[in-house]
Structure 1
C-alpha cells in the first residue's frame, strides 16, 4: 500500500516540477526556487520508491519455474529403432 502512495507522490511532484520549469524558463525567479527545492524532494522520494519497490519484489510470491521438456519433446527428430 505504501508503494502506491509513493508512486502518486512521485507523479504529483513531477507534474508540479514540470509546471514550475516552464515558468522558470520564462524568467520567473520564484518558480526557479521551487524547482531547486523540488529536485531535492524528488531525490528523497525516488530513493524511497526504490527501497519500497525492492522490498515488495522480495515479499512477492515466487514465480513458477517453466515446465521441463521431455526427452521426446526436446529431440523431436530423433531416430527411433
Structure 2
C-alpha cells in the first residue's frame, strides 16, 4: 500500500477512472449487442434504429479517450457493415 499522500491519491483516482471506463465500455457493448441481435433476428427496422444509438455511444467513448479513435472507427465500421449487408 502507498505511504505517500500523492501516491494514495493516485490509487483513488485511478480506481475512479477505471470504474468509469468500465461502465462506459459495458454500455457500448450493450448497444452493440442490441444491433447484433437485431441483425441476427433479421429485423432490419430494429437494426437501423439501434445503429445510430450505438454509433453515438462509441463516438462518445472515443471522444473521452476510453477507446482509441481507430478502435472506435473499427467498431462503427463493423456494425454498419452488418446492418447494410441485411439488404
The TM-score with structure 1 as length reference comes to: 0.42
Compute the TM-score of the two structures, normalised by the length of structure 2. 0.40
